[in-house]
Amino acid sequence: MGAKVLFFFAFLSISAVSAFAENEKDPGLAMDFYKDTCPQAEDIIREQVKLLYKRHKNTAFSWLRNIFHDCAVQSCDSSLLLDSTRRILSEKETDRSFGLRNFRYIETIKEAVERECPGVVSCADILVLSARDGIVSLGGPYIPLKTGRRDGRRSRADVVEEYLPDHNETISVVLDRFAAMGINTPGVVALLGAHSVGRTHCVKLVHRLYPEVDPALNPDHVPHMLHKCPDQIPDPKAVQYVRNDRGTPMVLDNNYYRNILDNKGLLIVDHQLAYDKRTKPYVKKMAKSQDYFFKEFARAITILSENNPLTGSKGEIRKQCNVANKLH
Ligand code: HEM
Ligand SMILES: *[C@@H]1O[C@H](CO)[C@@H](O)[C@H](O)[C@H]1NC(C)=O
């Protein structure tokens, strides 16, 4: 008796539910999906995102990073939010999730929604809408997004690395992975503009500083990086990091593109984006025009947010975002 047997029963029970609802049409995603069932849902989420942002500005970074880490791994199904169980590792605990934070505040938003409309609004939609509203808090564009996603029942930790590129991945692999979701080259360049906010921990940077400083780094930026990351092997207890954009660290703007053209990109992927001949023309265009960046960013976030969702009678509406409901 192992995980396989459990999955088999889970599978049986999911198929039973779907068969039951077979003659109800799957409406898919729609604008304002909750207009009849919970008309105030989007307002509650927006209000909570704003309140949280007032108290902890970095929550907005998390909402923005979450949409990538959830939606790019097979489906926008909020599998990212599940805690580990005795048998199954959570996505949150994998190496790619390093530095993800503020998960408890997703529960704050979920609880506020549950108080008004219990059991109606999915965590997958809360994750996507909090990203949408977080982007606005950070000075980015308002992006109208569809809702109607349902929550997955299990972690996808086992496949996370096949979907999320590593910090030092080649541009070819990065472009391929996003293309598989229908996101083209300017879309990828725009999405990486998210690295205009937030931070990167020293563990992801020390290989560019020690034993020798990466000659590709702007020498004017190196003393700051060495000051923030003084040890070749960072002390795991000390929270040591460098801000992604020293100029405007709290604002989602096109300064990221000027930084990477100036060799101040922190990650290898950021740096490569400004050098690869497929991506460089878009980097230059976005460095010049915030409008163009926002337009492409909004388009790419929309595609990302619609990646292979569970809809209709698939999945479930979780009661709490960090645990799947009990199978009945
Ligand atoms: C090739 C693709 C990408 C790679 C390899 C990558 C990698 C990383 C890494 C290593 C960090 C630092 C984490 C830490 O040390 O705490 C980071 C931070 C971040 N990433 Fe990405 N990322 C990618 C794409 C994206 C996309 C598409 C988005 C959103 C649309 C995004 C949003 C963010 C945000 C907002 C942060 C800052 C988080 C914070 O300060 O809490 N990233 N990313
Ligand atoms: C990328 O960095 C990781 C450590 O974070 C390392 O194990 C891996 O070998 C590196 N890959 C490449 C292609 O350099």
Tens digit of pLDDT for each residue in 300-325?
A: 999 999 999 999 999 999 999 999 99
Picking from 204, 181, 200, 201, the residue whose alpha carbon sits closest to that of residue 67 is 181
In short, whether 40's Cβ falls inside 6 Å of ligand 2 is: no
Name the pTM for this structure.
0.93
Q: Are 197 and 266 in contact (CB under 8 A)?
A: no
Residue 125 within a domain: yes
Q: How many domains does the chain have?
A: 2
Picking from 142, 138, 139, 116, the residue whose alpha carbon sits closest to that of residue 129 is 142
Q: Which of 121, 143, 162 is the last residue of a domain?
A: 162
In this structure, the answer to whether residues 249 and 274 fall within a common structural domain is: yes
> Which range marks the domain in which residue 139 is found?
41-162
CA distance 162 to 263: 28
- What is the best residue among 94, 95, 166, 204 to mutate for testing ligand 2's pocket, by most ligand atoms within 8 Å of CB? 166
In this structure, the answer to whether residues 190 and 126 fall within a common structural domain is: no
Structure tokens at 63: 């909402």
In this structure, the answer to whether residues 258 and 228 fall within a common structural domain is: yes
In this structure, the answer to whether residues 286 and 177 fall within a common structural domain is: yes
Question: What pLDDT is stored for residue 30 in this prediction?
Answer: 98
Question: What pLDDT is stored for residue 5 in this prediction?
Answer: 45
User: Quick check: helix, strand or coil at residue 328?
Assistant: coil
Residue 315 within a domain: no
pLDDT digits (tens, 9 = 90+) for 166-205: 999 999 999 999 999 999 999 999 999 999 999 999 999 9
Atom 11 of ligand 2 has which residue's CA nearest to it?
168
Here the CATH number for the domain that contains residue 140 is: 1.10.520.10
Structure tokens at 61: 């970074």
CA distance 95 to 41: 33
Residue 245 within a domain: yes
In this structure, the answer to whether residues 86 and 135 fall within a common structural domain is: yes
Q: Residue 89 to residues 94, 146, 298, 299: CA-CA distances in angstroms?
A: 8, 30, 32, 33
In short, whether 240's Cβ falls inside 6 Å of ligand 1 is: no
CA distance 68 to 198: 14
In this structure, the answer to whether residues 79 and 50 fall within a common structural domain is: yes
- What is the best residue among 53, 62, 68 to mutate for testing ligand 1's pocket, by most ligand atoms within 8 Å of CB? 68
Residue 247 within a domain: yes
Question: What pLDDT is stored for residue 22 in this prediction?
Answer: 52
